[in-house]
Amino acid sequence: MAVISSELVKQLRDKTGAGMMDCKRALEETKGDMEAAIDYLRKKGAATAAKRADRETNQGVVEAYIHAGGRIGSMVELNCETDFVAKTPEFKALAHDIAMQIAAMTPLYIRKEDVPQDVLAKEIDIYKQHAVNEGKPAHIAEKIAQGRLEKYYQEVCLMEQSFIKDSGKTIQDLIDEATGKVGEKVGIRRFHRYHLGEYPNNF
């Protein structure tokens, strides 16, 4: 594998706006070829997604999904920048897939940053206590707790969840790919999940 300098990674990031790790991986995959690395990032959606992170998304669709004989349902608001993109079959299909994901996987939040600090503190405390009960030293228990917190994010944060139709992708990957394909920022604004007889999960 080619040795990639930090300066080359920085140059690619400046050109694309993609994350440092994405840039490093792209350069490794393309053996340091800058133009090929840019194409690699565009195909992955990473470059466009990062460049458009501050764009306004005032258009989109609200998509609903009903499952299991009408006992489980979900609604999601998927946004983009223009009405033209919102009306495309591909955009509506993405919204449908995300609504289905919500119904199937019961996320509580959209992204990591949305998890309240008191909830995180409680989870970390539980994980630490489990590790201590297993006989782990305090400093090891701390590392174990952080590792388990990542698994917690993957369970309760929609963007971190593995896509039910393709476990090799997260919902964040789907959003980034869509952003790259349509040339507009795509994002999830809110969702609701309903289960008959229970209060809805609202975000």
Place of tokens 């593995």: 162
Bridge partners (DSSP) of residue 109 are 157
- Could you give the dihedral angle defined by the CA atoms of residues 2, 17, 174 and 119, in that order, rounded to the nearest 10 degrees? 100
- Cα–Cα distance, 26 to 46 (Å, whole number): 10
Q: How confident is the model over 110-123, as pLDDT tens digits? A: 999 999 999 998 98
- Walk me through the domains of the chain, giving residue ranges and CATH numbers: 6-51 (1.10.8.10), 59-110+157-202 (3.30.479.20), 116-156 (1.10.286.20)
- Cα–Cα distance, 125 to 119 (Å, whole number): 10
Question: Which amino acid type is present at position 122?
Answer: K
Contact 16, 44 (CB under 8 A): no
Kindly report the pTM of this predicted structure. Answer: 0.69
Q: How confident is the model over 41-80, as pLDDT tens digits? A: 877 766 556 655 556 667 999 999 998 789 999 999 999 9
